[in-house]
């Protein structure tokens, strides 16, 4: 079997995409993100043997944004197990990431943990499990990435808080329906800080490597999740990781993945690789336009997907 030349493939795809001016828009509803140059693009691939391949602006740091929802979910799921699903569902929503639409009808139980409402519930769970949930989350990311310097960008967190009215509305609605246990202001502080954790494409790939290794972190050789839990997290990433564009992502890319409005995307093929992209220009659904184009071409060129 011929080895796949990941380096050549990602360089060619990066060159072709970068040759065309980005048409996506940065997330202007978060003032700090609106200032980022949308023409930047970084790519990093980490294979199962620990070999790495990178191109473009892969060393540029960015806030993790909604990609963090996978990690908070892993923390809550590893502690609570199936009891977690009493407070948050696992079905695709078919709605934008910040929708309030179904919540009142469904008694404050979000359809999945990757919507903003679902992530707020998961953060509320973590607040009941840890004295300092943000420190625990940072500890997990530093452990899995192998980078002890990863931290919150307080400027981004404050920028999110200044315009976080819809998240406040989501939290207060769920609080009124009995699915938020902690003080809403404290919950939002944790959530905004979690979304503002800053890293680069390499850090992000290493952080998510445990989900390509049956729940085992190759950096520390510790199990973050068991094999069954890892399988289920990957399944939710595939079906819910891109909100109302999740079906399109599964159809075109065919990998479990998660996006963030900073332009970050992480995707993986269990037993093979983790790939991260960062390009701040977003499409109408709030996902990185160039990142999606790259990943569709990447799985086409390599012939590697879960399908």
- Among 266, 250, 275, which residue's Cα sits nearest to residue 13? 275
Phi/psi region, residue 53 (left: phi>0; alpha: psi -120 to 50; beta: rest), is beta
CA 17 to chain CA centroid, Å, is 22
| Sign (positive or negative) of CA dihedral 289, 266, 122, 28 | negative
Distance CA 295, CA 122 (A): 28
Distance CA 237, CA 71 (A): 11
pLDDT digits (tens, 9 = 90+) for 162-189: 888 999 999 999 999 999 999 999 999 9
CATH code of 6-302, in short, is: 3.40.710.10
pLDDT of residue 252: 97
Are 289 and 9 spatial neighbours (Cβ–Cβ below 8 Å)? Answer: no
pTM of the model: 0.96
Q: What is the DSSP letter of 223?
A: E
The series of mean pLDDT values per 10 residues for the chain, 307 residues long, is: 88 94 82 87 97 98 97 98 96 76 86 95 98 98 97 95 91 96 98 98 98 94 96 97 94 98 97 97 94 98 96
Distance CA 207, CA 156 (A): 21
pLDDT of residue 2: 67
Longest pairwise C-alpha distance within the chain:
58
Radius of gyration of the chain (CA): 18
The residue written with tokens 């850090």 in the block is: 203
Burial class for 185, CB neighbours closer than 10 Å (0-12, 13-18, 19+): exposed
| 57-88 exposure pattern, b = at least 16 Cβ within 10 A, e = fewer | bbeeebbbbbbbbbbbbbbbbbebeeebeebb
pLDDT of residue 93: 80
Distance CA 173, CA 186 (A): 16
The residue written with tokens 């068991």 in the block is: 226
Are 75 and 144 spatial neighbours (Cβ–Cβ below 8 Å)? Answer: no
Q: Rounded to a whole number, what is the distance in angstroms from the first to the last CA of the chain? A: 19
Helix boundaries (H) for the chain: 6-18, 31-34, 68-80, 116-129, 133-145, 154-162, 165-176, 184-195, 201-207, 227-240, 246-252, 289-302
* Domain regions of the chain by residue span: 6-302
**Adjacent-strand bridge partners of 278:** 42, 264
């Amino acid at each position: 079997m011929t080895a796949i030349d990941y380096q050549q493939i990602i360089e060619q795809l990066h060159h072709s995409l970068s040759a065309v001016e980005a048409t996506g828009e940065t997330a202007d509803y978060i003032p700090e993100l609106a200032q980022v140059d949308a023409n930047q693009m970084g790519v990093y691939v980490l294979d199962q043997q620990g070999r790495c391949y990178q191109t473009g602006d892969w060393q540029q740091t960015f806030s993790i944004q909604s990609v963090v929802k996978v990690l908070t979910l892993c923390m809550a799921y590893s502690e609570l197990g199936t009891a977690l699903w009493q407070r948050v569902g696992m079905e695709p929503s078919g709605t934008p990431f910040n929708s309030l639409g179904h919540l009142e009808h469904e008694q404050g139980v979000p359809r999945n943990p990757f919507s903003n409402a679902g992530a707020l519930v998961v953060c509320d769970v973590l607040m009941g499990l840890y004295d300092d949930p943000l420190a625990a989350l940072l500890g997990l990311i530093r452990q899995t990435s192998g980078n002890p310097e990863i931290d919150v960008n307080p400027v981004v967190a404050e920028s999110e808080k200044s315009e976080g009215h819809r998240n406040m509305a989501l939290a207060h609605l769920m609080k009124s329906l009995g699915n938020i246990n902690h003080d809403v202001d404290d919950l939002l502080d944790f959530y905004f800080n979690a979304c503002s954790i800053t890293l680069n494409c390499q850090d992000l790939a290493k952080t998510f490597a445990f989900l390509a290794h049956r729940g085992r972190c190759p950096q520390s050789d510790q199990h973050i999740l068991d094999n069954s839990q890892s399988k289920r997290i990957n399944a939710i990433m595939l079906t819910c990781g891109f909100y109302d564009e999740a079906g399109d992502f599964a159809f075109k890319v065919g990998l479990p993945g998660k996006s963030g409005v900073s332009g970050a995307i992480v995707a993986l093929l269990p037993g093979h690789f983790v790939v991260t992209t960062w390009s701040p220009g977003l499409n109408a659904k709030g996902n990185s336009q160039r990142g999606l184009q790259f990943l569709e071409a990447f799985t086409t060129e390599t012939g590697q997907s879960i399908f």
